[in-house]
Structure 1
Amino acid sequence: MTYSALQRRDIRLLAGLRAVSFLGDSVAMTALYLRLAPLGHAWAIAALSIAGTLPLVLFAPLAGSLVDRVPAKRLLTLLGVAEGVVCVAIGYWHGLYATIGLMLALSSFVAFSYPGYSALVPSIAGEENIAASQGTMQAVQGAASVLGPVIGGVLVGSVGQSWPLYLDALSYVVAAVATTMLRHDRRPSPRSTIELAQSHTMLAGVSFLWNDRLLRPIVLTTLVFLLAINVVNVGEVFFVTVTLHSSAIYYGLVGASFGVGSVAGSLLAGRLGQGLVNLARSILVTITVVGVMIGLVGLVSRVAFIYPLMAVAGVAAGVANVAFFTLCTVRSPEALRGRVFAAIGAIFTGDQIGATATGGMVLALVSPRTVFQVGGVAATLCALVLGPVALRASRQAHAREDDQGA
């Protein structure tokens, strides 16, 4: 890791502002679920979840295209202010339809800020520090996912349902102000960069991922793997509370053990080498570990045995996340990174939506324990069957780079 003093300052500032935003979002979502739960309508919770994710799929082409054409700091600052205003409105209006509609508006802005910040990170860190910077960003996101539900629940119980949303609004505004303080910016200023950005359509991110002979098998392997794991996530609460007869507290600790592990794994992965073969191998090995751990969870008879298994799975998932995003960044032309990250967000968000629907149908047919067992086996087989193709592609890509450099 060879950060300059200015790079180190901006990476720390960016990590801090993203941590504040992620934590605010996690707190707010917890408050909103608690707001709608007393209504007794499962469709309302589902609608809120869809409103919070669907725009990331629908607006991905436009978002990525805009990110690749506009200076990052200006765009992200305006988006932060807009997101803060919407959060204030969600906190003020508590009606069901107002909540869902405003959540749809908020996630529409997030659909633009996500690829914007993702593309800004390597511009600050430099090409040689992508793994280290990704490790830091994934770690703060993991920490927020652990702390957010706890803080959100405490705030709702102590100060009501509006203040978590007002605090989330404040987090967006603070992030917007902090963004203006960054010394680095991502500007599409060089003529070659502008020409490359303008020569591709809004779907260039998806096309690039599909046409790249290394990223295509990696993305497909990861997509199938996440489908299996996300189906398991749907059954997790039933497995812990119904099958193992444990309380909500124990269920919360299961998620916390995975989250803490993912933070540790992300920080550990910051030391990864950025060679193509090394990154591809890291992804395949770690998703295999996750699959094995999930399958073993399906065999336990007491909830206490789940915690170490989920912690190990979390460490492996943290490494896999960092390795995956590092590989995608290294392989992507700088001028296309906004569209590439938007495409990645859309693909995996769509995968999550599909897995949630599939999980509900699967649970109607088999027990939660069986879901864990089958999901773990499916995730492991995914890596073992599709992985060799991806590894072979990484070696071929590495060989081509060596030939070009010779």
Structure 2
Amino acid sequence: MSAGRGGSARLSPSQRLDWLRLIRTENVGPRTFRVLVNQFGGAAAALEALPSLARRGGRLMPPRSPSIAEAEDETAALERLGGRFVLMADAAYPEALRVLDDAPPVIAVRGRDAALMAPKVAIVGARNASAAGRTLAARFARELANAGFVVVSGLARGVDTAAHEASLEGGTIGVLAGGLAKPYPAENIGLIERVVATGAVVSEMPLAWEARARDFPRRNRLVSGMALGVLVVEAAERSGSLITARLAAEQGREVFAIPGSPLDPRAGGTNRLLKSGATLVTDAADVIEALRPLLERPRFSTSPFDGPEGQIEAPRAPPGASPEPEDGVRGRILELLSPVPTTIDDLVRFAQASAAEVQVVLLELELAGRLERQNGGRVALIRPE
């Protein structure tokens, strides 16, 4: 099994541990991670700033961060499973995923870098798929793999399993909702090992994380985010596959759907997607023809970090220091915030504050557990329970 480390030399071993510690910190998600690294110039400086930021946001105790030893332990445990962490700074990190504003800065991977770096198509569909649906998923997956695409799916029953099994020879990527040490469903453990042998299995969650219901939509954004396009084979009106299709559209990905009988409830979601503008396909050649032009021009060159000359970490403030807005500026920003999502640009304009001042106040509130970041760069206060 090959598992090269790509461009990991861009960050030192200590910086890699700091990245893992920061993304595993309480109340720090992918969007907050990016803001912190951009604001303070690196993960180490951001970790030092966390207690002060959270205190100013109204939290008495600082958010819990793993120690260096705990980060080393998780890294060692992953290596014992035959895996490694791939960071957004690494060459092997999936290029299409890198540009999303909620892309995980660190992913745990078992398998081959080549699969991560190849062009990808996601195939999703019903867990209780019909025989025809599984046959179609397998046929499309096999032909897409033969055309040079890596097939991405969620390792679930039904369509996912059929797509993975049909594309094993060319390499396929499975994305888990839980940690790599807690594969789900258990019946697919054998399939996971076969996927690892020629492709890759990926998770953004801690190694021993047990998947919960809320984790599957998070997983779905990675399935669609890695790919140039998403093919929905069978999906009911209310299904995770439709969530994946919606996320794909929001991410600017192509959405394809196979039409189904109006008499089969498992086709209700795919038929609705077609009514809403998804591309109707009846053969893998339809997908390949639509995606070929995207392979001929670079689409994913923007970095989510703003260091000079493409640097991931570039000092902006002394370690541990964080600019503190004046009380009047902070008061105006707080007054503008509510549970209704608003954009950061609006906060800057109406508060007559700088973007840096607004970001600091938002970080304070978020680390105190009082604010959440949403799609489209919007933020909203969390309603107290």
Q: TM-score range by the shorter chain?
A: under 0.3
1 or 2, which has the higher helix percentage?
1
TM (normalized to structure 2)? 0.25
Of structures 1 and 2, the one with the larger relative CO (CA 8 A, separation 6+) is 1
TM (normalized to structure 1)? 0.24
